[in-house]
Structure 1
Amino acid sequence: MVPVTETQTAPDQQSDISDEPVAASPPGAPRWFRDTAAILVAAALLVTAILVPFYGSPELKLNIFVLAPPLFGDVDPHGNYSTAVAVAIGLLVIAIGPWAARALRWGPLVVVTWVVAMAWTLSLALIDGWTRGISVQLDRPDEYMPTARGVSDIGRMLQTFDSRILDFQPNSWPTHVSGHPAGALLSFVLLDRVGLGTGTRAGVFCIVVGTSAAMAILVAVGRLAGQDTARRIAPFAAVTPAAVWIGVSADGYFLGVVAWGIALLAISATTDAPRVRAIAGVGAGALLAWGIFCNYGLTLMGVVAVATLVVARRWKPLLWAVPAAIVVVGAFALAGFWWLDGYHLVYERYYQGIASKRPYSYWVWANFAASMCAVGPAAVVGLGRTLRWGAIRRREAVVILGLAGLAAMALADLSGLSKAETERIWLPFGAWILTTTALLPPKHARFWLAAQVLTALLINSIVRTHW
């Protein structure tokens, strides 16, 4: 596959998106059988993750520390006016989303996808009410904003950050602050400095940035696989079940940061303009480096970054991205925070809390059941389709990106530092699994959109998630 450059971005790149097979697929099971098998396997995993804690040992049920396994939240069916709003948005996207994705000009389509994603995310969050759904999410004692408002000296905060990571000392950071690098807290301190320091404003900020990942995904896929392939993804990016956790969690903000890092890397790798390559490469390196200073686990976005360059078959962006990333790392080091020191202390802090009791034997597989709820059934089927020879031949880019997202999840899982809450924590990886929805037949798009919408509505209306 040839990377898309400035001279190759026309909407009608039929060779890249044709539904006709490029070569005869090897004999095997019918497509409907394979899709059904993917859904049945996913459903079996989810049902098992739900039932095992209730029918297993009392110790297991107690120590998984979730009340709606495998999701972190409480089983509490609820709804309000925003339920009707969310249903209306979902029905609208199901009805006209595939048509709009084909009919709109590329630029407006990217923006419209973001606007719909914001509306969808807000409507889901408001099913819990304005206070619980948005304004208090980042204002709880274990969250960022109360601590951010108390930081009077940013320099001293960075210099002493490591010393306050471990628990059981008078000045220990709260749970979420201690569990992330200094860049996460710094982000919210800066929000407070510019007048966005209330829980409501910070929550809206996370929604705006988090949902912008929908644009970043379209931009990246458009550059790597052609705009027509990206158009297939647009409706699914607009109404992803991941919106349940994007609104509102800091991980939604982290998602937006690294998604744009990958998008800029894709631009840098597919352009023939040296200046654009340099600017995009620097931006990619800076954003991806900023991401690892927001969440230690986002070092695994390196898997997606490498996949991007493999698809583009160009490595020149590294000449700009790597130095930019080094500048970010160096700036934090000069300010007093060394990433590796923080990581080792967080590893110790991780096992000072409930993570020491959460059974790895359960979460090593239940993590995927939880994350599957965020990517939705359409992405599950799309991921299953990546294993087909015809899919690999026709849409190499989304196959590689989707598998890269899954590989990042697997590495995070094997680390032992992901036990529960992966529906939120793995959002930046799941976003790239969503690109495999481009492999779904256009004639079935509305069916799978309905499945995505229903999944999000059921989760948000039955489980009171903590984000």
Structure 2
Amino acid sequence: MKSARREVIAALLAALLVTAAFVVPQLHLGIVTPLIHSTARQIQMYAEAAPIFGWWDVHMGWGTGPAIVIGFGTALWGPAVARRLPWRAVPWVTWAVSGGWAFSLAMVDGWRRGFADRLTTTNEYLRQVPSVTDIPYAVRSFSSRILDFQPHSWITHVSGHPPGALLTFVWLDRIGLGGGMWAAIFCVLIGTSAAAAIVVTARVLCGDDLARAAAPFVAVAPTAIWIAVSADGYFAGVAAWGLALLALATRGAVRLPALVAAGGGLLLGWAVFLNYGLGLIALLAVAVLFTAPTVRTALRTLVPAVVAALVVVGVFALAGFWWFDGYTLVQQRYWQGIAANRPFQYWSWANFASVVCAIGLGTVAGVTRAFDVRAIKARSGLHLLVLAALLAMICADLSMLSKAEVERIWLPYTVWLTAAGAFLPARSHRWWLALNVVGALALNHLIFTNW
């Protein structure tokens, strides 16, 4: 009873946080506001629906019906189906439901506005793809084009990320999958596969029951709103599978653990060259390694993983891009733009209101159970991963390099929080799942999100 009361209180406090984040901008409290030193037009463009990056727009679309069916169908029957399915089918079904849920939510905004044209807007990667006619030169000169207000500066999203992000879309274009539709399909498929990676990791680290309990929560998480469609969904998928492979190697759940660990290292190394913020994924990797049965096993996993990750670093260095140079310059570029007008006095806490919107109140209730001293002492992998994801977001918030848009930017971490619903009592899963679904549907139909 005490735990149930704690979960309800946590959900209510989270709801109050979200309410405050939406109401405070209307009170004109000086620097405790989403945007300063800006025109009315700029405020409308960048902060109309703060803390969510988007615009108020009550709307429906042909995705509304399927989203309602998938969301509430999963809330009602998902837990029972997850318990009864053969294990081999659980990750695949979780991925399929997650993909259908994400695509349906995107279709609420329409085919072009919600899906096919999402990655073709002014500051997106696809706008830069035609300018890359020489890939080696683009990588070699990448750092020199990060800063703004100079000839041939990269556009916003390209400059704000390491070259791996741009290269991905250039390569897609080179193999004949150019344009917004193929880029969107790619990002959604990889992004929603994170749901499968999470349940695989949960089973390896915590057992069959907890993994099955997590499946419905990750399948219809509100994070899907930003996975479909943003490149950050792709980043989240890559990082999730890197951690999943690391978990499989750490717990000896595969025949060639060293090779699997190296695969995990390659993916995590690539992830760091997709998004500078994914340097913090090291916290989640450490959490996985901490679950190893012995120190020797942890080292046997760590060494091939680190070597493989360093191979990625070495290839980029040989190609002419040094990650730390790019990271230093991107901080300067960050403060050249709108970030200078986004006060930390508002975003330091409103960022977490955005996180609540992205994970749902049901997940917030589950996160309260991650602070289980007994489970932490027993090195329960999923508990440690949820706590590591929270720590990563706190570090990102305190860096002041994540002000606004974190519902998208922090996807590689928030997707892990969604699994915390598995910690809740089984009898309450339907209710908390339904609450997450209601929140996602309401937000997606009331706000036209920028991503």
SS of residue in 1 equivalent to 2:55: strand
Note the C-alpha offset of 1:393: 6.8
- What residue in structure 1 maps to residue 433 of structure 2? 449
Note the C-alpha offset of 1:61: 5.1
Unaligned runs of 5+ in 1: 1-28
SS of residue in 2 equivalent to 1:191: helix
Counterpart AA for 1:189: V
- What residue in structure 2 maps to residue 253 of structure 1? 234
Give a deviation string over 1:215-256, Cα, whole Å, max 9, x none.
100111111111211000001111000000000000000000
Counterpart AA for 2:339: A
SS of residue in 2 equivalent to 1:81: coil
Note the C-alpha offset of 1:312: 2.6
- What residue in structure 2 maps to residue 31 of structure 1? 3
Question: Equivalences for 1:65-144 in 2 at 5 Å?
Answer: 65-144=46-125
Give a deviation string over 1:135-178, Cα, whole Å, max 9, x none.
11111121011211331110010011111100011201100000
Counterpart AA for 1:305: A
- What residue in structure 2 maps to residue 355 of structure 1? 339
- What residue in structure 1 maps to residue 387 of structure 2? 403
State how far apart, in whole Å, the 2-side matches of 1:252 and 1:388 are: 29
8 Å Cα contact 1:218-1:231 kept in structure 2: yes
SS of residue in 1 equivalent to 2:120: coil
Give a deviation string over 1:268-317, Cα, whole Å, max 9, x none.
101166x5212211111110010010000000000000001112344121
Give a deviation string over 1:35-68, Cα, whole Å, max 9, x none.
1111122112111111111113366354374211
Moved more, 373-382 or 55-64: 55-64
Matched, 1:375 2:362: no
- What residue in structure 1 maps to residue 317 of structure 2? 333
Count of paired positions: 438
Counterpart AA for 2:382: V
Moved more, 386-395 or 171-180: 386-395
State how far apart, in whole Å, the 2-side matches of 1:391 and 1:375 are: 22
Give a deviation string over 1:70-102, Cα, whole Å, max 9, x none.
100001110022101110111211221011100
Picking from 379, 384, 402, the partner of 1:418 is 402
Matched, 1:44 2:44: no
Question: Equivalences for 1:36-435 in 2 at 5 Å?
Answer: 36-57=8-29, 60=33, 62-63=35-36, 65-271=46-252, 276-313=256-293, 314-315=297-298, 316-389=300-373, 392=376, 396-435=380-419
8 Å Cα contact 2:106-2:114 kept in structure 1: yes
SS of residue in 2 equivalent to 1:31: helix
Give a deviation string over 1:310-343, Cα, whole Å, max 9, x none.
1234412112101101100000000011100000
Picking from 422, 427, 432, the partner of 1:438 is 422
Q: Structure 1 residues 62 and 269, CA, compared in 2 at 3 Å: closer, same or farther? A: closer
8 Å Cα contact 2:139-2:163 kept in structure 1: yes
* Percent of residue pairs identical: 50
Q: Structure 1 residues 150 and 97, CA, compared in 2 at 3 Å: closer, same or farther? A: same
Counterpart AA for 1:295: N
SS of residue in 2 equivalent to 1:342: helix
8 Å Cα contact 1:385-1:391 kept in structure 2: no
Counterpart AA for 1:49: A
Note the C-alpha offset of 1:391: 5.5
State how far apart, in whole Å, the 2-side matches of 1:146 and 1:61 are: 28
8 Å Cα contact 2:15-2:361 kept in structure 1: no
SS of residue in 2 equivalent to 1:464: strand
Counterpart AA for 1:185: L
Note the C-alpha offset of 1:398: 2.0
Q: Structure 1 residues 62 and 225, CA, compared in 2 at 3 Å: closer, same or farther? A: closer
SS of residue in 1 equivalent to 2:291: helix
8 Å Cα contact 1:222-1:230 kept in structure 2: yes
State how far apart, in whole Å, the 2-side matches of 1:272 and 1:222 are: 10
Moved more, 298-307 or 46-55: 46-55
8 Å Cα contact 2:217-2:421 kept in structure 1: yes
8 Å Cα contact 2:215-2:419 kept in structure 1: no
Note the C-alpha offset of 1:394: 7.8
SS of residue in 1 equivalent to 2:108: helix
8 Å Cα contact 2:106-2:225 kept in structure 1: yes
- What residue in structure 1 maps to residue 39 of structure 2? none
Counterpart AA for 2:217: F
Counterpart AA for 2:269: A
Give a deviation string over 1:392-438, Cα, whole Å, max 9, x none.
57882222111111000001111110000000000111122122211
SS of residue in 2 equivalent to 1:177: helix
State how far apart, in whole Å, the 2-side matches of 1:171 and 1:105 are: 54
State how far apart, in whole Å, the 1-side matches of 2:285 and 2:274 are: 17
Give a deviation string over 1:325-381, Cα, whole Å, max 9, x none.
110000000001110000011000000001011101111111111011111112101
Moved more, 124-133 or 53-62: 53-62
8 Å Cα contact 1:101-1:109 kept in structure 2: yes
8 Å Cα contact 2:289-2:302 kept in structure 1: no
- Normalising to structure 2: TM-score of the pair? 0.94
SS of residue in 2 equivalent to 1:351: helix
8 Å Cα contact 1:184-1:294 kept in structure 2: yes
Tell me how large the CA RMSD over aligned residues is.
Answer: 1.5
Counterpart AA for 2:149: F
Unaligned runs of 5+ in 2: 37-42
- Normalising to structure 1: TM-score of the pair? 0.91
8 Å Cα contact 1:149-1:197 kept in structure 2: no
8 Å Cα contact 2:146-2:153 kept in structure 1: yes
SS of residue in 2 equivalent to 1:113: helix
8 Å Cα contact 1:375-1:430 kept in structure 2: yes
SS of residue in 2 equivalent to 1:212: helix
